[in-house]
């Protein structure tokens, strides 16, 4: 049998090549090639192992006639055209957990640097000064660390902070009381955390829910003298507002490893008092680079030799026999999970996935994973159908799968229900023609709709003229409506409007929609 052939096109630890060889693959290590050279070479390889330098474009994929898997040693896959890879049947994998300790340690290092003003003290001392009386630091012992995000990296930071005898309060919609006790942290709402924390460190992905989570408004809610650390993603902090807070002294110091625009050759925060920064070094340690290189080699080799799938971004774990029948259900499941994840907020402790009618006879694990993948995308930018169950478990989310063999109104039905502090919230969907996913119920209100592209969800009082006002508002602002779906509990009661739009709404337009008479909720959605 011919051995699978793998190309390592970016610099990696030499042991990665050894792993490929030990597991039955032929491997070439050829780095630093131009795109044209890679295009000329890629056709002979079954697997491609990369870091951030290699750009896997459509042109590269068009030439990769034998390619079966791409493995990224690290988290980010912005350098891979994933839709094109998917269309060509190429699996794309990453290693989302290989640099967690390194990133967590960098956040702790930044916290100490802020607490003792180390960078400025170092610079002035080496400049020939002896500014012993110019710096007065603070101890971290006994201080309160506010943790925004208590997932994989956040939980490591919590552990280190507790070892430093700090008190840790954490805000994370998926953090249950049981998991908080296990971590040794206090679960808190965001406003409470902002008011109490002496240090705040962020460990969340960049999503619509987390963008500018430390906005000007939220920064104003912080305790005077707070110190802020961000080693997660650029754009989580309003940089201009943070500059103002540093200059006023409300924020005593800030340390950023990431920026809204990178590389950050020029930034509004540069030169601000008590501001320190690093050029996105969170994953830059020898150990992390070794870990991700070894992990990606193991994953690619396992897939090519044994068919195993780990940390795939565009492929569920499915047998060849199950795949054709399950894929439509998985598409529906992911959309329902995404919908409830975008709409349900607060203390999310439990999610149940109910399969009725024809769906009850199917393998529930891929469907469950698809729901969780859609659900967790609002809170994690490295989620996929393989690691979504792990991420849910890590946050203490109780996942329940329910089979109901009887048929109801629909011959097949999936229902996703989350338990929130306001009570259960559920959405349901079916397949038309056993292929086309369709929403049929949202929070107890019957409504049939496709879930696709940019959408707008509005809850309003059922009253004459409301639909016209919404249509006029969107039309006057150049927003074209693709489809229009309505549902209500009772005449004159609560109604739901679900629109598909040709383009997303600006914040200003969302605010105008919120101000319409009778509106209770306005939420932009994306699928």
Which tokens belong to 401?
């799968």
Runs of H (alpha helix) within 95-238: 100-116, 118-126, 152-163, 177-183, 190-196, 216-220
Asked whether the beta carbons of 295 and 310 are under 8 A apart, the reply is no
The two most distant CA atoms of the chain are separated, in Å, by: 82
- Is residue 442 within 8 Å of residue 521, measured between CB atoms? no
The Cα-based distances of 165 to 96, 154, 181, 207, 222 in angstroms read 29, 17, 16, 32, 22
Active site residue 322: no
Q: Both tokens of residue 457?
A: 């969800």
Evaluate the CA torsion angle 185, 188, 193, 196 in order and state its sign: negative
In the annotation, is 105 catalytic? no
**Cα(462)–Cα(467) distance, integer angstroms:** 10
Helix (H, G, I), strand (E, B) or coil at 80: strand
Of 82, 92, 122, 51, residue with least CA distance to 283? 51
In order of 325, 446, 500, the CA distances from 453 in angstroms are 24, 21, 7
Pairing of strands 398-404, 423-432: unpaired
Question: Which one from 41, 124, 250, 280 is the annotated catalytic residue?
Answer: 280
What ranges in 425-476 are assigned the alpha helix state H?
A: 466-476
**Catalytic entry in 247, 262, 407, 476:** 262
Our CA angle for 469, 470, 472, nearest 5°, is 65
CA–CA separation, 44 and 30 (whole Å): 13
Residue 262 annotated as catalytic = yes
Burial of 139 (0-12, 13-18, 19+ CB in 10 A): exposed
Q: Which residue among the candidates 179, 233, 355, 425 is catalytic per the annotation?
A: 233
- CA dist 92 and 69 (Å) reads 6
Residues 301/307/313/314 CA torsion (nearest 10 deg)? 140
Q: Is 307 left (phi over 0), alpha (psi -120 to 50) or beta?
A: left
Residues 6 or more apart whose CB falls under 8 angstroms from that of 363 comprise 322, 326
* 12 burial via Cβ count (<10 Å: 0-12, 13-18, 19+): buried
Task: Give the residue numbers marked as catalytic.
Answer: 233, 262, 280
């Amino acid at each position: 049998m011919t051995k699978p052939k793998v190309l390592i096109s970016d610099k990696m630890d030499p042991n990665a090549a050894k792993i490929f060889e030990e597991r039955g693959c032929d491997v070439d290590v050829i780095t630093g090639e131009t795109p044209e050279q890679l295009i000329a070479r890629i056709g002979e390889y079954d697997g491609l192992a990369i870091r951030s330098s290699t750009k896997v474009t459509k042109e590269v994929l068009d030439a990769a006639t034998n390619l079966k898997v791409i493995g990224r040693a690290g988290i980010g896959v912005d350098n891979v055209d994933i839709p094109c890879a998917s269309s060509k049947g190429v699996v794309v994998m990453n290693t989302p957990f290989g640099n967690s300790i390194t990133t967590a340690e960098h956040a702790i290092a930044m916290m100490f640097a802020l607490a003792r003003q180390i960078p400025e003290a170092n610079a002035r001392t080496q400049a020939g000064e002896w500014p012993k009386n110019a710096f007065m630091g603070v101890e971290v012992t006994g201080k309160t660390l506010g943790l925004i995000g208590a997932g994989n990296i956040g939980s490591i930071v919590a552990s280190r902070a507790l070892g430093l005898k700090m008190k840790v309060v954490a805000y994370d919609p998926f953090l249950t009381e049981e998991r908080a006790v296990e971590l040794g942290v206090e679960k808190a709402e965001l406003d409470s955390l902002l008011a109490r924390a002496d240090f705040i460190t962020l460990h969340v992905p960049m999503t619509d829910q987390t963008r500018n989570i430390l906005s000007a408004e939220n920064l104003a809610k912080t305790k005077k003298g707070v110190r802020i650390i961000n080693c997660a993603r650029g754009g989580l902090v309003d940089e201009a507002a943070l500059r103002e807070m540093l200059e006023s002294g409300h924020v005593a110091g800030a340390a950023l490893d990431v920026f809204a625009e990178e590389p950050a050759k020029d930034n509004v925060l540069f030169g601000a008092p008590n501001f320190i920064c690093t050029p996105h070094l969170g994953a830059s340690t020898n150990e992390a680079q070794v870990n991700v290189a070894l992990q990606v080699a193991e994953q690619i080799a396992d897939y090519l030799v044994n068919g195993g799938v780990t940390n795939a971004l565009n492929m569920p774990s499915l047998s060849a026999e199950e795949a054709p029948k399950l894929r439509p259900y998985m598409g529906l499941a992911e959309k329902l999970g995404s919908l409830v994840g975008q709409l349900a907020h607060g203390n999310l402790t439990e999610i149940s996935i109910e399969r009725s009618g024809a769906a009850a006879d199917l393998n529930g694990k891929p469907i469950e994973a698809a729901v969780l993948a859609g659900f967790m995308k609002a809170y994690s930018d490295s989620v996929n159908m393989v690691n979504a169950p792990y991420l849910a478990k890590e946050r203490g989310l109780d996942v329940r799968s329910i089979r109901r063999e009887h048929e109801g109104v629909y011959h097949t039905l999936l229902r996703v229900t989350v338990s929130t502090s306001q009570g259960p919230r559920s959405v349901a969907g079916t397949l038309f023609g056993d292929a086309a996913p369709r929403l049929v119920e949202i929070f107890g209100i019957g409504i049939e709709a496709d879930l696709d592209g940019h959408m707008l969800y509005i809850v309003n009082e059922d009253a004459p003229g409301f639909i016209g006002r919404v249509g006029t508002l969107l039309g006057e602002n150049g927003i074209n409506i693709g489809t229009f779906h309505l549902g209500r509990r009772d005449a004159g009661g609560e109604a739901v409007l679900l629109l598909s739009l040709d383009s997303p709404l600006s914040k200003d337009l969302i605010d105008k929609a919120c101000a319409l008479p009778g509106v209770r909720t306005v939420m932009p959605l994306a699928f």
